[in-house]
Amino acid sequence: GKGNYRHFMMKEIAEQPAVIGDTLQVFLNPLERRIELPAMPFDFAKLSRLTIVACGTAYLAGFVAKYWFEQIARLPVEIDVASEFRYRTAPLPPDGATLVISQSGETADTLAALRYAKSEGNKIIAVVNVPESTIAREADVVLQTLAGPEIGVASTKAFTTQLVVLATLAIAAARARGAIDAKREGELSGALIEVPARVSEVLNHDQRLKEIALKVAEARDVLFLGRGTSYPIALEGALKLKEISYIHAEGYAAGEMKHGPIALIDEEVPVIVVAPYDDLFDKTASNLQEVRARGGRVVFFSDAEGVAKLGGDAMAAVTLPKVDPFVAPILYAVPVQLLAYHAAVAKGTDVDQPRNLAKSVTVE
């Protein structure tokens, strides 16, 4: 049941510290600060390319993982949505592997993509939440997210647990490829171990995010901006908002703004900027200034350092905990969920069962 919550979505958002912890426990040895994954049917060191395929929010988890695999494992990654990938007849390297991600394990396009990649000779890793699903059965290796049943159509805890599994996989790939040493693996593992506690802290901003959401709920269009791993989080924020509040929202790579979408910006369009204080912060900051110069109302998600630098330029700023930039996307997923949730509640939509949507898209 929903317990004390009005909606499954809020219950599932609140469960994230616990289910992230449960999932981590399977793949990370906390004493040794070392990743321990099941044996892979290929050698990461010899892999020429990883292809990632999924739909919707699962695709966006894969999009974050692409940055991780490239940055820390120096592994070339291609990513596509399953509905395109399955018909593209893309040639896959026979010494490649394909990673599919699906909460339900039953999404028709993702399953078709898996079968295509297999027919091209790739080994298949599946990240799924339902271990008895079709995708889990057909994969060579299954990495399960321990999110528990997700009832709300909007994916929340499935997304963050997918990110956690993918982070451990990226670290394992980095080790196998000699791209990180034991010390760095310990640091990254340590950062992951901290995530449940940090996500709990983010949940404490619920009231503040509700206040911001009341303003956002009045808008007709909303833009989300981010760079690096914050870019897929911006896309996820936009997907969440449109899916449950029916407000038109778009996510953009912050640096792409001046190639078109900046034309949309005026006082009417809230711009949500996802920008932890990392190596790319100054770049995103200058995009924020461009938005401000056009009268845009900025909602700024950052940490204490970022807010100290730029919080004054925003209509609203939310100060999130400071973490290793590697795990930041897991944390920053949460405020965009809460923003969408409260905007939808304010609009009076059917939060758990938004119109036209099914929890699991088992037909094309």
Q: Is 243 in the site for ligand M6R (CB under 6 A)?
A: yes
Q: Which residue is nearest to ligand M6R (CB)?
A: 56
The CA distance from 204 to 111, in Å, is: 38
Strands 28-29 and 34-35: antiparallel
Tell me the C-alpha to C-alpha distance, in Å, between residue 322 and each of 167, 192, 249, 284.
18, 13, 27, 17
From the list 16-24, 149-157, 187-195, 311-319, the region that binds ligand M6R by CB under 6 A is: 149-157
Name which of 163, 171, 169, 162 is nearest 190 in CA terms: 171
- Going by their DSSP bridges, the two strands 123-128 and 97-102 should be labelled as parallel
Give the span between the Cα atoms of 107 and 191, in whole angstroms: 32
Q: Binders of ligand M6R among 76-115, rule CB under 6 A?
A: 102-104, 107, 110
Between residues 319 and 360, which has the closer beta carbon with respect to ligand M6R? 360
Looking at the Cβ atoms of 104 and 284, the one nearer to ligand M6R is: 104
Distance of CA 75 to CAs 78, 175, 328, Å? 10, 11, 21
Q: To the nearest whole angstrom, how small is the minimum distance from the Cβ of residue 132 to ligand M6R?
A: 14
Measured from the CB atom, the residue of 243 and 303 that comes closer to ligand M6R is 243
349 contributes a contact to ligand M6R by CB under 6 A = no
CB of 260 to ligand M6R, least distance (A): 24
> 155 to 194, contacts with ligand M6R by CB under 6 A?
155
Cβ-count burial 193-231 (b if 16+ within 10 Å, e if not): bebbebbbebbebbeebbebbeebbebeebbbbbbbbbb
Q: Which of 200, 319, 353, 360 binds ligand M6R (CB under 6 A)?
A: 360
Q: How many amino acids of this chain bind ligand M6R (CB under 6 A)?
A: 16
Least separation in angstroms between residue 89's CB and ligand M6R is 22
**Per rule CB under 6 A, is residue 361 in the interface with ligand M6R?**
yes
Cite the active site residues: 359
Taking the complex as a whole, how short is the minimal distance between the CB of residue 56 and ligand M6R, in angstroms? 2
By beta-carbon proximity to ligand M6R, the closer residue of 59 and 252 is 59
Q: Does 230 bind ligand M6R (CB under 6 A)?
A: no
Q: Cα separation of 231 and 242, whole Å?
A: 17
Task: Report the residue from 16, 23, 51, 57 that binds ligand M6R according to the rule CB under 6 A.
Answer: 57
Of 155 and 230, CB closest to ligand M6R: 155
Question: Distance between CA atoms of 222 and 251, rounded to whole angstroms?
Answer: 9
Please report how many Cα atoms fall inside a 13 Å half-sphere around the Cα of residue 133, on the Cβ side: 26
Please tell me whether residue 145 binds ligand M6R under the rule CB under 6 A.
no
Of 50, 58, 117, 247, the one binding ligand M6R (CB under 6 A) is 58
Closer residue to ligand M6R (CB): 114 or 219: 114
Query: What does the binding site for ligand M6R look like in residue numbers (CB under 6 A)?
Result: 55-58, 102-104, 107, 110, 153-155, 239, 243, 360-361
